[in-house]
Amino acid sequence: MSSRRNGARNIRGPQSALTDFLAANNISAAQIRTDYDRRRQQTAQDATNAGEGPSNATPEQDDDEALAAAAQAEEDEKKTKKRKRTEEDAIDKIKKAKSSKGGSKAKGKKGKKGDPDDDDDDDADFDGDDLGMYKKSRPAPGQFEHCDICNKRFTVTPYSKEGPDGGLLCTPCGKELKKDLKKEQRATTKAVGTGRKRRKVESEKLDGIAVGGAKSLSQLCIQKVAQHHDDIEELGDLPQSVLERLSEIFSKKRVMKSKTLPLFLRPDLDSVIVHDAAYLEEEDYRQMFAVVPNLRKLVLSNACQLKDGAIDYMLERCHNVRHIQLYAANLINEGMWHRLFREAGARLEVLKLTWLDAAFEDLVVRDLVQYCPNLERLKLKLCRRLGQDAVVTISDLPALKHLSLQISQDVSTETLVNLVQKRGSGLQTLSLEKFLDADDSLLEAIHDNCTQLSKLRLCENDTYTDAGFTSLFTEWNNTPLSFVDFNSTRDVDNNNPTGPEDAIGLASSGFRALMAHSGETLRHLDISSCRHIELPAFMDVFNGAENYPALEYINISFCNRADTSVVAGIFKSCPALKQLVAFGCFDVQDVVVPRNVALIGVPRAQDAIEQFGVGIGVEEAISRMVEMAA
C-alpha cells in the first residue's frame, strides 16, 4: 500500500498544463483558494466536537482507526494549524481506505490522481466532484498509469490510446480498441460504397437506374432478392409488374436456370417473361406451359434450346396465347412455324421475332399474314432470310397498328411506299430501320397516308433529304408525335467530308419543321449523327422561350454544331428533361447540370462520362455557365 502511495506521489502533471487547463475552464486560482479557506474553516468548526488523540496515522492502521485518525487530525489542525502535513496524510489515508473497501477502480484512480502533493495551496480541495475535471489531463510519457479497461499498471508512452472514459489504456487494450475502431470504419466505408466497382455505378447511371438521389425502395429490394436467388423457395404472390422486373434482373445476372425458373411460374398468371432463356432446356419449357395454361404473353429471349417439341406442347396446352416474342429461337423448324401460325394464329395480336436464321422465310410470313388476321403489332428484325416478298405480304395484314421492320436484304422503295399506302392510315407506330434505298417518296407517302402515328423511326439511311423531311412535317395531317428517332440519316462520303450542298438527312429546316409539328407532345427525340443540323437551327428550337413540356430524352450525339449554349437552351426549354446524350459534341464544354438531369457523353479529361445535377435549378445552372464563360 505504501509503495502504491509512493508511486502515486510521483505522479504530478506538469504545472503549465494544469494552469492551461484551469484557464481554459475559466477557473481562477484565487477563487479556489478562497473556496478552500472557507471550506477549511467549516471543517474546523464541524470538528470542534471531536475528541483529541494521536495525530500520526500509520499505514498499518485499519479502516476504523483511519477514520478516527482523520477526525483527530482535523481536530489537531484546528488547534495547532501548523500540523498541516499530518492532516494531509490522514485524509490520504481515509481516501485510500475508502477506495480499497469499495474495490472501485475508478475511485482508486481518482484518489491517486487527485492526491495532494506538497503543494500547500490546493491540496485539501481534491475530493468529490472537483476531481472530475482533472480526469482528462494526460500524464506525461514515462510515468506510470493504470489502464482504463483492465486496470493493469503500465508505462505511459506518447502512443498510449485514450479509453472510452477518457483514461489511458495499456498497450494490449489500446490495440484491441484500435482493432474495433478499424472494423467500425470498414463497415461504414463499405456502406458508403467506395468498395463498389466504379464501372457498375457508371453503368447504372447510364441505364437510368440511378439518376441522382436515392434508389427506389423496390429497386433496392429487387437487388437484394436477386442477390439471394439461390435461397429463395417461393416469391409469394408478388404483383406481376414486380415479378417481371425481377425476371429481368435474374436474366441480366444470368441466374435464370432450371432451379430459379419455377419462381416465376404461377398458374394464376397469364404471362411468362424470360429475357435470357439460354440455360433453359426442353423440360423447362414443358414445365412452363404445364404450370401456366392460361398463357397469353410469352417472351423468350436467347431461346436457343426452344425446339419443336416444346412448341407442340404449347399448342396442346395453352389455347389463349396472344403475344409471342422470341429472340434467336433457331431450333424451330419451318414446319413448326407453319403449324404455329395455322393453329394459334387466329388469336395472335402481337408477334415480335428477332435474329431468326435458317428456318424463318418469306413463305412462313405468307402463312403468318394469312392465318393471323388480328395481328396488331408486328416486329421482324434481323431475320436473315426475309426479303422483299415478306414486306409485300405484310402490307396485307388488316389490323396492323404497330410495325417495326429491319430487313437485311434489299427492299425497293416502291415496296415500302406501297406498304405505307396500304396500311398507313391505321398505323400508330412505324419503325423502318436501315432501309438504305428508301427515299423522299417514302416520306411523301407517310405524309399523305399516316394520320395516327405517335412513334416514328426512320434511321440509318443516306437518301432522305432535308427537303423531304421538311415537307413531311409541313402541314402534316398527323397528330403530334411523341417518339421520334431519325438517327444516322446523313450522307457519308470520304471524298466530300462536308456533305453535299443540299443536305442529306434531317438537317436545319427539317429539324425546325419537326419541332414545330411535334414539339408539344414529343417525349423522346433521337437525332444523333444528323450532322447537318446547324447551330442557328438548334438556337431557334431551344431558345428558352419555346417550351417542350413532355421532352424527357434527347440524343444529340455527333451533331457537332451543337455547343454549350444549345445545351443550356435545352435545359431551359425542356422542363421534364431527364437525360441528354451528347457524345462527340466537342463544342459542349463546362456545362453545369441542373437537378434531376443526367448529361451523358460530355467528358472533360478527368471527368465521369456522365454528369448529373446536384441540387441546383435550371436558372442557377445557366447563370453559373454564363459566369464560367465570362
- Give the residues lining the site for another protein (CB under 8 A): 191-193, 201, 210, 212-218, 220-225, 228, 231-232, 235-236, 238-239, 241-242, 595, 612, 614-615
CB of 221 to another protein, least distance (A): 4
| Smallest distance from another protein to CB 229, Å | 12
Closest contact distance (angstroms) between CB of 597 and another protein is: 12
CB of 222 or CB of 541, closer to another protein: 222
Closer to another protein by Cβ: residue 11 or 242: 242
The residues, any chain, with a CB within 8 Å of residue 289's CB and separated by 6 or more, are 295, 310, 313, 314, 317, 318
For residues 324 and 536, give the distance between their C-alpha atoms in angstroms, rounded to a whole number.
46
CB 389 within 8 A of CB 362: yes
Q: Of 158 and 236, which CB lies nearer to another protein in the complex structure?
A: 236
CA–CA separation, 407 and 409 (whole Å): 6
Q: What residues have CB less than 8 Å from 314, skipping those under 6 apart?
A: 285, 289, 295, 298, 321
8 A C-beta contact, residue 537 and residue 565? no
Q: Which residue lies nearer to another protein by CB, 576 or 629?
A: 576
Shortest Å, Cβ 227 to another protein = 8
Give me the least distance between CB of 520 and another protein, in Å please. 25
Assign 402 to helix, strand or coil.
strand
Residue whose entry in the numeric block shows the C-alpha cell 425542356: 574
Least separation in angstroms between CB 615 and another protein: 4
For the CB of residue 14, give the shortest distance to another protein in the complex, in Å: 45
Start-to-end CA span in the chain (Å): 79
State which residue, 65 or 204, has the beta carbon closest to another protein. Answer: 204
* Spatial distance between the Cα atoms of 113 and 485, rounded to a whole number of angstroms: 81
In whole angstroms, what is the distance from residue 52 CA to residue 47 CA?
10
- Please list, in sequence order, all residues whose beta carbon lies within 8 angstroms of the beta carbon of residue 399, skipping any fewer than 6 positions away: 373, 374, 375, 376, 426
How far is Cα 52 from Cα 43, in angstroms, rounded to an integer?
Answer: 15
Residue 347: Cβ-neighbour burial (10 angstroms; 0-12, 13-18, 19+):
middle
599-607, long-range: CB < 8 A, 24+ apart: 599/567, 600/206, 601/557, 602/567
How far apart (Å, rounded) are the C-alpha atoms in residues 150 and 157? 17
Nearest 5°: the CA angle 325, 327, 328 is: 145
> Measured from the CB atom, is 304 or 616 closer to another protein?
616
Shortest approach of another protein to residue 626 CB, angstroms? Answer: 22
| DSSP H or E stretch at residue 530 | none
Name the residue nearer to another protein (CB basis): 216 or 543. Answer: 216
Q: Of 153 and 198, which CB lies nearer to another protein in the complex structure?
A: 198
- Whichever of 136 and 190 has its CB closer to another protein, that residue is 190
Q: Are 501 and 491 in contact (CB under 8 A)?
A: no
Rounded Cα gap, residues 244 and 274, in angstroms: 8
Could you tell me what percentage of the chain is helix, strand and coil, using 3-state DSSP and rounding each to the nearest 5? 45, 10, 45
Minimal distance in Å, beta carbon 610 to another protein? Answer: 10
Q: In degrees to the nearest 10, what's the CA dihedral of 467, 472, 475, 478? A: -170
Q: Which is nearer to another protein, 207 or 410 (CB)?
A: 207
Contact 314, 300 (CB under 8 A): no
Residue among 239 and 497 whose Cβ is closer to another protein = 239
* Bridge partners of residue 611, in order along the sequence: 599
In angstroms, give the least distance from the CB of 235 to another protein.
7
What's the min distance (Å) between Cβ of 563 and another protein?
A: 26
Q: Closest Cα to residue 260, out of 237, 233, 285, 239?
A: 233
Contact 266, 240 (CB under 8 A): no
Minimum CB separation of residue 298 from another protein in Å reads: 24
- Minimum CB distance to another protein smaller for 236 or for 497: 236
Instruction: Name the minimum Å distance from CB 300 to another protein.
Output: 25
Q: Which is nearer to another protein, 98 or 215 (CB)?
A: 215
